[in-house]
Amino acid sequence: MSKLQEVAAAVEKGKSKIVAGLVEEALAEGSSAVEILNSMIDAMSVVGEKFQRNEIFVPEMLVAARAMKKGVEPLKPLLADAGAPKAGKVIIGTVAGDLHDIGKNLVAMMIESAGFEVIDLGVDVPAEKFVEAVENDPEVNIVAVSALLTTTMPSMKTVVEALNASPARSRFKIMVGGAPITQEFCDEIGADYYTTDAASAAQKAKEIA
Ligand code: B1M
């Protein structure tokens, strides 16, 4: 088994205690931070597929998520684009009713790495909190909204509608993303930009800031 496969297996099995060490070893063996990150993202997809087939349940998903978080830690400084000029200020959060934060955290990390200051509102964030955060900070130029469940897509719509009604609307752009989100849905709810993954979200943020 290659080191990358060992990292993926550790995430899949939720082995939080060993995953960071394996990531360090993979780096020492020459794997890039992006390769290692992708192996962990693939592992989470496998976890999701097993959950869908009822082969594993929520507790197993949770431990896999914890393991992935541990594995991402040593990669953070390597993915950071040190010395990039301050590109702007971004508010990010996962919508109300949704507790998934791995993807949102990766998006936050990549956007931060692209030179932005990031204010992370966390998970299960109601629309009012997004609005309050952007209205209270005139430096914010992007609001990034994540949703991972089809059942929380309506919450994303609520957030975007509330942001669109804000008197501060002209000074910020709204970016949306997450597994069930599409360009069509982005257009339908009146958000500005949809991106599929953390790297393209950071790229888009740089383009529009
Ligand atoms: Co949940 N879960 N989960 N879960 N979970 C999914 C999403 C699911 C697809 C699993 C499945 O059935 N195959 C399914 C959703 C089905 C659907 O809606 N159609 C599901 C379900 C059903 C549930 C529960 C309802 C289960 C239950 O209780 N019966 C429950 C809901 C809880 C809630 O939120 N209210 C639940 C709970 C959980 C845990 C808490 C156990 C845990 C989350 C832990 C955590 O995040 N801290 C969990 C996990 C781990 C998953 C899976 C396995 C992995 C998610 C993940 O982290 N992926 C997931 C299956 C899967 O995704 N394959 C699943 C890795 C991550 C890097 O990818 O989050 O997609 P992702 O982020 C990507 C892109 O989406 C994008 O960039 C990221 C990185 O490239 N992106 C953006 C994300 N946000 C973006 C924002 C942007 C741009 C891009 O711009 C602003």
Q: Which helix (H) or strand (E) holds 100?
A: none
How far does Cα 197 stand from its chain's mean position? 8
The SS3 call for residue 168 is coil
* Closest C-alpha residue for ligand 1 atom 8: 48
For the chain, which domains are there?
3-82 (1.10.1240.10), 89-208 (3.40.50.280)
What spacing in Å lies between the alpha carbon of 149 and ligand 1's midpoint? Answer: 7
Q: Is the pLDDT of residue 84 over 90?
A: no
Give residues with Cβ within 8 angstroms of 158, minimum separation 6: 95, 96, 127
Q: Is 71 in the pocket of ligand 1 (CB under 6 A)?
A: no
What spacing in Å lies between the alpha carbon of 28 and ligand 1's midpoint? Answer: 30
Count CB atoms within 10 A of the CB of residue 126: 17
Q: Is 143 in the pocket of ligand 1 (CB under 6 A)?
A: no
> What confidence score (pLDDT) does residue 77 get?
87
Mean pLDDT is lowest, of 6-15, 40-49, 140-149, 181-190, for 40-49
Q: Is 97 in the pocket of ligand 1 (CB under 6 A)?
A: yes
What spacing in Å lies between the alpha carbon of 121 and ligand 1's midpoint? Answer: 17
HSE of 42 in the Cβ direction (CA atoms, 13 Å)?
Answer: 12
> What confidence score (pLDDT) does residue 83 get?
55
Count CB atoms within 10 A of the CB of residue 105: 21
How far does Cα 142 stand from its chain's mean position? 15
Q: Is 181 in the pocket of ligand 1 (CB under 6 A)?
A: no
* Closest C-alpha residue for ligand 1 atom 7: 148
* Closest C-alpha residue for ligand 1 atom 35: 98
Q: Which helix (H) or strand (E) holds 147?
A: none
Q: Is the pLDDT of residue 166 over 90?
A: yes
The predicted-structure confidence for 97-151, as pLDDT tens digits, reads as follows 999 999 999 899 888 878 899 999 999 999 999 999 999 999 999 999 999 999 9
What spacing in Å lies between the alpha carbon of 100 and ligand 1's midpoint? Answer: 5
What spacing in Å lies between the alpha carbon of 104 and ligand 1's midpoint? Answer: 10
The predicted-structure confidence for 1-28, as pLDDT tens digits, reads as follows 899 999 999 999 999 999 999 999 999 9
What spacing in Å lies between the alpha carbon of 179 and ligand 1's midpoint? Answer: 7
* Helical ranges in the chain per DSSP H: 3-12, 16-28, 33-52, 58-72, 76-79, 102-113, 127-135, 153-164, 183-189, 198-208
